[in-house]
Amino acid sequence: MSPAVQPGPLVVLSGVPEVYGHGLAHALSAAGAHRVVRTDGEDLVELLTGEDPAPAVLVVPEAAAERVRSALRGSPVEDRVALVHLAPGAGRDGFVGAVRAGALGVLDPDAELETAVEVVLSAAEGRVLVPRHLVDSLAEPSGAAGAPQVAPHEREWLRMLGQGGTVAAIARSASYSEREMYRLLAKLYRRLGAETRTQALLRAADWGLLDEGGNGP
């Protein structure tokens, strides 16, 4: 008896631009994906729950990734869905930030479709495909030179964010309103030389600010 052929992955493209999504869906189907579904994101859990327990990959724009993770958290499919970020022009920080956040791949819509397919299918197998142009950059050591001064309570906020804490939870712990906490964090990000939460956490990690008991600069 010949061994059973493993089905390809279910791939869900959520919130992906129409033209790019159409081309990617066609390329994935041709490469052996079991099923490719395009959606606006409203029925993600239902789509993934109703499928066989085969590998599943969810491709979402980077800006929507955190919201999608929240929607999947605690669902029956949380542990078997690989997340891939769609991030135009993602460099070293964007790639590392996505992986640290739990993604198993980063897609640049300007890349060749063949490359995009490899990223998605690698994620379905639990592997992260690192673009060649990022390999040398990722291998470079990060230094703490020029690290800004960060107060102990600010380091605690960064650690909470790095562990998946929400701004609302941090605001409650610090006795601030959520609006005020967003303002304080934005100032902290700028002091770290970052424009986004992901960039700020990457820089904080490079300087040892996320280490328990670390003194930082």
Would you list the domain boundaries of the chain?
10-139, 152-206
- To 5 degrees, how large is the angle CA 158–CA 190–CA 187? 70
Q: pLDDT at position 23, please?
A: 93
Helix axes 18-30, 113-124, angle to 10 degrees: 70
Segment 63-88 mean pLDDT = 83
Q: pLDDT tens, 148-186?
A: 778 889 999 999 998 888 999 999 999 999 999 999 999
For 43, the enclosing helix (H) or strand (E) is none
The answer, yes or no, to whether residue 143 has pLDDT greater than 60, is no
Task: Identify the bridge partners of residue 13 per DSSP, sorted by sequence position.
Answer: 38, 59
Segment 18-45 mean pLDDT = 85
Cβ-Cβ contacts under 8 Å for 21 (sequence gap 6 or more): 13, 38
Q: pLDDT at position 41, please?
A: 67
Segment 109-131 mean pLDDT = 88
Which CATH architecture group holds 152-206? Answer: Orthogonal Bundle (1.10)
The answer, yes or no, to whether residue 45 has pLDDT greater than 90, is no
**Residue 166 or 3, more confident:** 166
**Residue 125 or 136, more confident:** 125
Q: Which of 90-94, 95-99, 152-156 has the lowest mean pLDDT?
A: 90-94
Percent pLDDT > 70 in the chain is 82
As assigned by CATH, the class of the 10-139 domain is: alpha beta
The answer, yes or no, to whether residue 98 has pLDDT greater than 50, is yes
- Environment class of 89 (CB within 10 Å of its CB; exposed 0-12, middle 13-18, buried 19+): exposed
Only one residue has tokens 């994620």, namely: 123
How sure is the predictor about 50, in pLDDT bands with cuts at 50, 70 and 90? Answer: low
Q: pLDDT at position 216, please?
A: 46
Q: pTM here?
A: 0.60
For 29, the enclosing helix (H) or strand (E) is helix 18-30
Q: Which amino acid is at 188?
A: L
What SS3 state is found at 58? strand
The answer, yes or no, to whether residue 3 has pLDDT greater than 60, is no
Q: Which amino acid is at 48?
A: L
